[in-house]
Amino acid sequence: MTQKPNPLNSIKVNGPIPAHLARSVIEETLRSAILDGRIPCGTALRQQDLADLFGVSRMPVREALRQLEAQALLNVIAHKGAVVAPLVQGDATETYELRILLESEALRRSIPLLDAADFDLAARYIEELETEHNYNEIGRLNRLFHMTLYSKAPNRRLLRLVEDGLNEEERFLRFNLEAMGLGKLSQEDHRDLLRAVEVRDIERSIKLLEHHLNRGVEVITRYLDSSTTQGKKASK
Ligand code: NI
């Protein structure tokens, strides 16, 4: 019998964790291990295993898992506990339709409040995307670029939902960007969008954002269709 490698072995814990930092350290550590694929989709995370690993009680573990569940990285399933969520939950088209609604609204509310520093930051992410070849980084920079444009929307709950959607996409892109044959994420879209945002043309900005996200769903749907017809590779 060969033993399946335990994904938790990939996690390094540096020394004892001060009690008041336990929840955030556990949350951040698990979050990055889920995002970079060290803990794959479908892995069940047992509270006691995590408490042993981090050398803490189960309470901060439970709180950290709850945060990750709220970020749509984990699903809590009866009798199984916390399980790492699939890469795209449900239907990709429906997911993107919702994202378009939420992100358009966030953009509409954010544009009047953005300042020169926000424009500079967004421009810097576009420049970094231009030279970045690491797929993990490309996904991260894309998320940061978008969040910068929405960041001044005054409704924090709306922003949290927007960020959940971007996190889900980032995770998906990390694993699939290369196979999708998209060397660069639509950089022209990003530049056009930033230009419209800078002159505070709200209607045009929203139109460009919709176009950008619709293109995303087309590429992803085509990719998912082709990968299920090509002998169901990597399914489940
Ligand atoms: Ni983008």
Residue ranges of the domains in the chain?
A: 11-84, 92-235
Residue 72 Cα, ligand 1 centroid: separation in angstroms?
20
Write the pLDDT tens digit of every residue in 178-211.
666 555 557 889 999 999 999 999 999 999 999 9
Check pLDDT > 90 for residue 134.
no
Assess whether the region 11-84 and the region 92-235 belong to the same CATH fold.
no
CATH annotation of 92-235? 1.20.120.530
For the chain, give the mean pLDDT: 86
Residue 96 Cα, ligand 1 centroid: separation in angstroms?
12
Strand partners, 74: 84
Q: How far apart are CA 107 and CA 187, in angstroms?
A: 18
What per-residue confidence (pLDDT) applies to 232? 42
Nearest-CA neighbor of 186 among 154, 218, 155, 157? 218
Residue 166 Cα, ligand 1 centroid: separation in angstroms?
9
The encoded tokens of residue 114 equal 């953005």
Residue 26 Cα, ligand 1 centroid: separation in angstroms?
29
Strand partners, 82: 45, 76
CATH topology (fold) of 11-84: Arc Repressor Mutant, subunit A (1.10.10)
What per-residue confidence (pLDDT) applies to 168? 80
Is the C-alpha dihedral spanning 225, 231, 233, 236 positive or negative?
A: positive
Residue 139 Cα, ligand 1 centroid: separation in angstroms?
9
Whether the CB-CB separation of 104 and 150 falls below 8 Å is answered with no
Distance of CA 52 to the CA centre of its chain: 28
Residue 190 Cα, ligand 1 centroid: separation in angstroms?
6
